[in-house]
Structure 1
Amino acid sequence: MASHNSAASAATEQIVMIEGMHCGGCALALEQLLQRQPGVTQAAVNFAADIALIGWREQKPDFSLLKKVVSRLGYTLHEQPDPDLSRRQAAHQRKRLQWRLAVAVVFGMWSMMPALLVYLYPLGAIEANMRWPLALASGLFAIPVLLYSGAHFYRSGLLTLRAGQPGLDSLITLAVLASVTISVWQLQHGSAHVYFDVAVMLITFQLFARLIETNVRRRAAEVVGRYFQQMPDSVLPENSAERVPCDTLSPGDKICLTAGEQLALDGIVVQGTGLLDAAIITGEHEPESIEPGRELFAGSRLVEGEIILAITATAGQRRADRLAHTISTLLTRKSALQRLTDTIARWLLPVILLAALLGTMTVLLQQGSLQQALAHGLAVLVVTCPCALSLATPLVITLGHAQLLKSGIMLQDLPALEAAADIELVVFDKTGTLTTSTPQIAHLEPAQDETNASLLQLAADILYHSAHPVALGLRAALPEATAAPGGRHLSLAGQGSRWQSPNGEALAGKAHWLQSLGIKVPAQQPANGMGLHLARNGRYAGYIAFHEALRPGISTMLKQLVEQGRQVKILSGDTAAACHQVAARLGLNESQILAERSPEQKLRFIASCASHCKVAFVGDGLNDGPALAAAHLGIAVGNTSAATGGAADIYLSKGAAAVPFTLAWAQRARRLMRQNIGWALAYNLLIIPAAMAGWVQPVLAAVAMSLSSLCVLLNSLRIQ
């Protein structure tokens, strides 16, 4: 887990962008390179998001030096993340991989056809004098694959070698180089024992795996950019008729905010009152009254009223900016399976090289020919190529992706599967996750002269133009009702609404407001405060009690999680009364409820839980972003904000009801991935001694390598 100490993070860490990375091997090489630089105590590179975390203790490292060092490996370091550039890089990378794979498939088939005929010569498929021309044809057709499609791996392989951190690309480069070199040497000496098809298979398989990995993981590159897209980029200064860019203002400057507008900068209210919707920051489902002296944060929306604020934080220093930095920091962490694969790849290259060298020397010491010795060494290189190892993880995800999409489940990061398999505690945000954002009518209590129908119609008439959540709940309950738009509608922030029509005056709002206007209101108030009291022409007409509507399948979902042996908690920014009312309807006890928590408090709670158990957080609002990123598994649900969707590992478009299925599916997927990795390692441990002993010829080595990948593919098919 990344550090959650924001104060220390601001002083000793910085998020930078690295442009030009092609794969996880690039990120691994850059990590090792940056960690060796003066003053750098920590370096963590996230290939998916094109970002790196640079840490130091006392004196900040010389970033101009870091830029030069990174540029020597062919990359570019930017001191600030650039989401637009990252998106362009991701699109360009995917397009290039698609073209390289297309060329590899087309020309690779033509290269394999003559090679197959050569393999079938012992069965009498071709004449002896046709073997050499067919071998030459196999090499000629392989040229586009070798020079264009494989260039992606050669560059990355050489860069990681230069950094002293060879990985899968280094192994692929070495195997392709050896296959082509020996094949050309064989052709020059009139032999048809060539291995161009081996090189073609390696490149094609690896391009396929890389395209899968890129398509799945690159979605994380837009996290920070999406986060900021939630905020306006301009504001209206006081005593001005034109909006100006946010970056032209300084702390202390005053800005105006009118009803319906979203706040772009943090500030303190200095004049005016209103009704504020801060759900995007706090998760509070009901708008709250604001007055001078109240501190507001960027992202909040003014529902009613008009206010003037004094800016306390400009772009880059806002609370939302600090939350975005926290998310970026947490995204640099790596999963255990990913670290394991990196470690295996790092040690596999010297083992394979040593085995190939020993195999070659053994033949020479036994008085064998140089051709036999080289073929022997090539067999070791080819048969131990890590194709199966690199396909072990992405194949499981790709083959199961169609099944997940049908269930409305979208993976946004590969390590999510590993995390989901071990979840012990599932923490839910309440509003928008377990409940809908629109209140639901709980019950009606009309006065003596009113009926249920007349009371509902009166409420609809009064709140005809209102954007208050209660008004939305009324309209949802009365889809066919017709409202009377005539007369004059007035709204008093935090109090209620007044409708003056030819038939008199009608009021709808809080009890104390009606009482202040001389209306006698019964001493009765809903526990969660979501009640609407109404009056008609000076007489009390009744009230409508609202409660939050549970999303379909939520009760069943919670029972399934308990049956799976997982703990369940609700963590919300909403009031304690509202949270406990929902919990009672779901059969949860008070110990499972944590209410009135700010985004920072949510983050601290999730971090605390994550220190002693595997925790998943399920949410849908921008205020959930840090908690989603801090959890071992972040799950975004429903009509989530773009920022939250990016910060999460998994996105459930059909809501939280799919959480149990997702976790169970992840357990099966991880089990298959571990089996694939285990098979790939066992294969290498068994085949290396056999190849060194001369029991595996290069042709059989190519077949064995393909069969190894086929076994991984067949095992991965079980996910469906």
Structure 2
Amino acid sequence: MASTTTAEVPAAESSETELTIGGMTCASCAARVEKKLNRMEGVTATVNYATEKAHVSFGEGTEVADLVAVVEKTGYTARPVPRPAPAPPPSAAPGPTAGGTAPAGAPATDGEEASAAEGAATDTLAALRQRLLVSAVLSLPVVLLAMVPALQFDNWQWLSLTLAAPVVVWGGLPFHRATWTNLRHGAATMDTLVSIGTLAAFGWSLWALFLGDAGMPGMRHGFDLTASRADASSTIYLEVASGVITFILLGRYLEARSKRKAGSALRALMHLGAKDVAVLRDGTEVRVPVGRLAVGDRFVVRPGEKIATDGTVVEGVSAVDAALLTGESVPVDVSAGDEVTGATVNVSGRLVVEATRVGADTQLARMAKLVEDAQNGKAAVQRLADRISAVFVPVVLLIALGTLVTWLLLTDDATAAFTAAVAVLIIACPCALGLATPTALMVGTGRGAQLGILIKGPEVLETTRRVDTIVLDKTGTVTTGRMTLLNVHTTDGTTETDVLRIAGALEHSSEHPIAQAVATGAAAKVGTLPTPEDFTNVPGLGVRGTVDGHRALVGRPKLLTEAGITLPPPLAAAMTEAAERGRTAVAVAWDGEARAVLEVADAIKDTSAEAVAELRALGLRPVLLTGDNRAVADSVARATGIDEVYAEVLPQEKVDVIRRLRAEGRTVAMVGDGVNDAAALATADLGLAMGTGTDAAIEASDLTLVRGDLKVAADAIRLSRSTLATIRGNLFWAFGYNVAALPLAAFGLLNPMIAGAAMAFSSVFVVTNSLRLRSFT
């Protein structure tokens, strides 16, 4: 076994690291590595069989080299997963190299690491396929000769031996090698059961052929689905030895291929980013690898290209397609001042973007890290399965020995006793137990990432099942979070176009949020706005000025009253109605006459009402939580179908509301997006943060919804519940299979070869069941 020297391993810089573990063949291997690491002082480790990684926390005095050494002493290989290199400062950003490649010694990017790992996995899969195909070709005649007596000719048993021997020795070499390694370390795994069972069957056959009557010319051999009761000296088990190894190799191959599919979403996420970028250096475009990009660099993105990293548009107008990253199908318009995310695609115009985050700080890298952390974690149900797997193999060895002794004592039939004992060894592999949770987690979290749903850890899944109340922050969650022009009420003889043109022109010169809402809404409907003359801002009341020769006023009714202008009854009624609906009303007058009332409010998102209905369908009781006034809150609640409302709540009081709901016996989920929601998100049983919100909210949450759409919250809960249901279904199958099959084998009701096939396909079933989550919509 290759060892890793201390010099090859970087010294620990922090209290956490990740190791890639090689040589694990089943869940009990993972349990053993985890147990050995956790015995080290100050070390807490979680080993995941499906992802083949260990996440380790350690204290002072321990280095990564020490962790690697312990894993190697346990009989496996370990390699630290490299950390992303820190981003270079703008001044240190190097120029291009020939061919646009990174210089020698440059740290590998996440994508390069992923590619290397993928290449190694492909090589392993190819070697396993070759071993399987050779073993299958050699084993098929052996199995047919044993199962169909009509095919048996004189000395057929010697042909069977010739064909079976390479399968047992070479085909089963991975099992025998792992068994020997484990025995040297005083341990037993699934490989131990397979190796002992197949070597025992092969050894018995050699004894019967060379020292018994089985080698006699003309010998015929029947096949029984249960334990054989023939004469011991004339019974051979070559079909069991070769057939079991072939079946288990087939199971291993299908399992390995399915595990690769299960992790495909994360690999796709890692490969989303651009590979190189056109950076502006002294006004000239220079093509450099993305790894050289630094914060503050400005780079060009042409139509059809991927945006290299997170940044702010400084030049240009375009539409950006974020479907690969968020699942959102409609491109979003961007212009100077708008933020863009790395790995999204520039659809139309040329953009110049200033980098604000690079490397591990980008949204793509953080998404990939969140998904990987979730896949490396363990749900409570999996911890139970791990504990069972750790003691299962030694218990099975004892059961097999007990079966052999009991059969001999009760029947004095050595052949039946041996058959039953070998069947116990082969049927009992706990592999399906070890795969039940990790594969479902890999597929579920990976599919979530494709849909813009980031699940922080497996324990989140348990909570989604229990949640019965969902608290929705209003601003930015149910509503857009920005003031929008919603309605225009005009007097007879006044056109909406004239109102918007004059009011929009004046408000465009004001920086007030309500004024900007009016200006933006007006520009969207009438196009270019004229420039006002004699513009004056009247603090607390509104604005006045001259537009196209008309002396105009836009603002509160008091502004018009002070100018001697009275609102006619229809406009006064519109004002009153707007106030009752929690909206802000803006009066418009020109040439000494009131002309219109504009309604401005924080608009409800188009999908919010539908999202609330979906949350109700999931059995959740929606609650609206806002610091806004009661009229606004009630208006939003009515429009979206929410019955329970908490209004005029200060930021620090949001936590109290969550606690009050929990004190009533409810299990509470909270959806929010702002800094003022972070404490409430952390207090709730389940926190869901809008990815369009602040870092504080995202950090405090359990689920992050990359898209700012409340419907994704319902999708997130459905996906989490589906993933948990799949895990539970897998574990039920794995537990039930072992519990039911062991007694059948012990009572002599299973032929060892049939047991080998059943055991192999139990693992395949669990992985295939998990892969169904890939079709979640």
Q: Could you tell me the TM-score, scaled by structure 2's length?
A: 0.57
2: CA distance, partners of 1:49 / 1:485: 65
From 56, 70, 73, give the equivalent of 1:72.
70
What is the one-letter code of the residue matched to 2:728? R
From 331, 336, 339, give the equivalent of 2:383.
339
Deviation, structure 1 residue 597: 3.0
Residue number in structure 2 paired with 1:238: none
Matched, 1:171 2:185: no
Deviation, structure 1 residue 338: 1.9
Matched, 1:544 2:598: yes
Q: Deviations over 1:23-78 (max 9, x none)?
A: 887876566456544467x76778989785859xxxxx424367624542154679
Write out aligned runs for 1:424-463 (5 A): 424-437=468-481, 439-446=483-490, 450-461=494-505
Matched, 1:17 2:21: no
Indicate how the Cα distance of structure 1 residues 650 and 20 shifts in structure 2: closer, same or farther if over 3 A, else same.
same
Partner SS state of residue 651, structure 2: coil
From 508, 514, 528, give the equivalent of 1:483.
528
Residue number in structure 2 paired with 1:252: none
Matched, 1:100 2:127: no
Indicate how the Cα distance of structure 1 residues 590 and 667 shifts in structure 2: closer, same or farther if over 3 A, else same.
closer
1: CA distance, partners of 2:28 / 2:680: 29
2: CA distance, partners of 1:603 / 1:25: 46
1: CA distance, partners of 2:414 / 2:534: 96
Residue number in structure 2 paired with 1:423: 467
Residue number in structure 1 paired with 2:737: 683
8 A contact 1:620–1:641 mirrored in 2:
yes
Deviation, structure 1 residue 98: 4.7
Residue number in structure 1 paired with 2:335: none
Partner SS state of residue 582, structure 1: helix
1: CA distance, partners of 2:566 / 2:189: 80
What is the one-letter code of the residue matched to 2:526? A
2: CA distance, partners of 1:132 / 1:620: 74
Question: Which has the larger displacement, 105-114 or 382-391?
Answer: 105-114
8 A contact 1:583–1:589 mirrored in 2:
yes
Deviation, structure 1 residue 384: 0.8
2: CA distance, partners of 1:352 / 1:204: 23
8 A contact 1:171–1:386 mirrored in 2:
no
Write out aligned runs for 1:371-450 (5 A): 376-393=420-437, 416-437=460-481, 439-446=483-490, 450=494
Write out aligned runs for 1:184-195 (5 A): 185=203, 192-195=238-241
Write out aligned runs for 1:507-656 (5 A): 511=556, 542-559=596-613, 561-562=615-616, 565-571=619-625, 579-589=633-643, 591-592=645-646, 595-597=649-651, 605=658, 609=662, 613-619=666-672, 633=686, 635=688, 644=698, 648-649=702-703, 655-656=709-710
Q: Deviations over 1:68-123 (max 9, x none)?
A: 24542154679999899777656654554454345434642453344233222232
Q: Deviations over 1:510-546 (max 9, x none)?
A: 6599799989898968586755566769987655222
2: CA distance, partners of 1:110 / 1:147: 13
Indicate how the Cα distance of structure 1 residues 660 and 695 shifts in structure 2: closer, same or farther if over 3 A, else same.
same
Q: What percentage of aligned pairs have identical amino acids? A: 22
Write out aligned runs for 1:111-130 (5 A): 111-121=135-145, 122-123=147-148, 126-128=151-153
1: CA distance, partners of 2:664 / 2:82: 31
What is the one-letter code of the residue matched to 1:193? E
Write out aligned runs for 1:146-157 (5 A): none
1: CA distance, partners of 2:121 / 2:62: 32
Indicate how the Cα distance of structure 1 residues 477 and 636 shifts in structure 2: closer, same or farther if over 3 A, else same.
farther
Indicate how the Cα distance of structure 1 residues 634 and 347 shifts in structure 2: closer, same or farther if over 3 A, else same.
farther
Question: Which has the larger displacement, 448-457 or 208-217?
Answer: 208-217
Indicate how the Cα distance of structure 1 residues 62 and 52 shifts in structure 2: closer, same or farther if over 3 A, else same.
same
Q: Deviations over 1:143-186 (max 9, x none)?
A: 897678x89x959x979996x9x8xxx63332343356447657
2: CA distance, partners of 1:374 / 1:491: 101
Residue number in structure 2 paired with 1:295: none
8 A contact 2:403–2:421 mirrored in 1:
yes
Q: Deviations over 1:567-611 (max 9, x none)?
A: 32235677777545422433435555584437x966994899499
Deviation, structure 1 residue 698: 1.8
2: CA distance, partners of 1:459 / 1:49: 64
1: CA distance, partners of 2:466 / 2:395: 33
Partner SS state of residue 457, structure 1: helix
Q: Deviations over 1:230-268 (max 9, x none)?
A: xxxxxxxxxxxxx9979xxxxxxxxxxxx999xxxxxxx
Deviation, structure 1 residue 383: 0.4
Indicate how the Cα distance of structure 1 residues 636 and 502 shifts in structure 2: closer, same or farther if over 3 A, else same.
closer
Deviation, structure 1 residue 652: 8.2
Q: Which has the larger radius of gyration?
A: 2
- What is the count of residue pairs matched by the alignment? 605
Residue number in structure 2 paired with 1:288: none
Partner SS state of residue 483, structure 1: coil
Q: Deviations over 1:603-640 (max 9, x none)?
A: 99489949965433445678877876775555566867
From 462, 479, 503, give the equivalent of 2:548.
503
2: CA distance, partners of 1:459 / 1:502: 9
Partner SS state of residue 195, structure 1: helix
Q: Could you tell me the TM-score, scaled by structure 1's length?
A: 0.61
Deviation, structure 1 residue 337: 1.7
1: CA distance, partners of 2:373 / 2:398: 39
Indicate how the Cα distance of structure 1 residues 138 and 108 shifts in structure 2: closer, same or farther if over 3 A, else same.
farther
Indicate how the Cα distance of structure 1 residues 361 and 49 shifts in structure 2: closer, same or farther if over 3 A, else same.
closer
What is the one-letter code of the residue matched to 2:753? V
What is the one-letter code of the residue matched to 1:483? T
Indicate how the Cα distance of structure 1 residues 193 and 51 shifts in structure 2: closer, same or farther if over 3 A, else same.
closer
2: CA distance, partners of 1:712 / 1:472: 54
8 A contact 1:420–1:667 mirrored in 2:
yes
Indicate how the Cα distance of structure 1 residues 644 and 670 shifts in structure 2: closer, same or farther if over 3 A, else same.
same
8 A contact 2:670–2:684 mirrored in 1:
yes
Name structure 2 gaps, 5 residues minimum.
1-13, 72-76, 87-107, 210-235, 273-292, 297-311, 315-340, 342-359, 361-368
Indicate how the Cα distance of structure 1 residues 477 and 538 shifts in structure 2: closer, same or farther if over 3 A, else same.
closer
Deviation, structure 1 residue 655: 3.9
Indicate how the Cα distance of structure 1 residues 447 and 607 shifts in structure 2: closer, same or farther if over 3 A, else same.
same
Matched, 1:674 2:699: no
Residue number in structure 1 paired with 2:5: none
8 A contact 2:266–2:446 mirrored in 1:
no
Write out aligned runs for 1:239-250 (5 A): none
2: CA distance, partners of 1:108 / 1:429: 56
8 A contact 2:670–2:686 mirrored in 1:
yes
2: CA distance, partners of 1:656 / 1:214: 32
Indicate how the Cα distance of structure 1 residues 177 and 430 shifts in structure 2: closer, same or farther if over 3 A, else same.
farther
Name structure 1 gaps, 5 residues minimum.
1-13, 56-60, 227-242, 247-258, 262-298, 300-315, 317-324
8 A contact 1:15–1:81 mirrored in 2:
no
8 A contact 2:668–2:685 mirrored in 1:
yes
Write out aligned runs for 1:310-325 (5 A): none
Partner SS state of residue 433, structure 1: helix
1: CA distance, partners of 2:403 / 2:500: 87
8 A contact 1:104–1:145 mirrored in 2:
no
1: CA distance, partners of 2:664 / 2:53: 27
**Root-mean-square deviation over aligned CA pairs:** 6.4
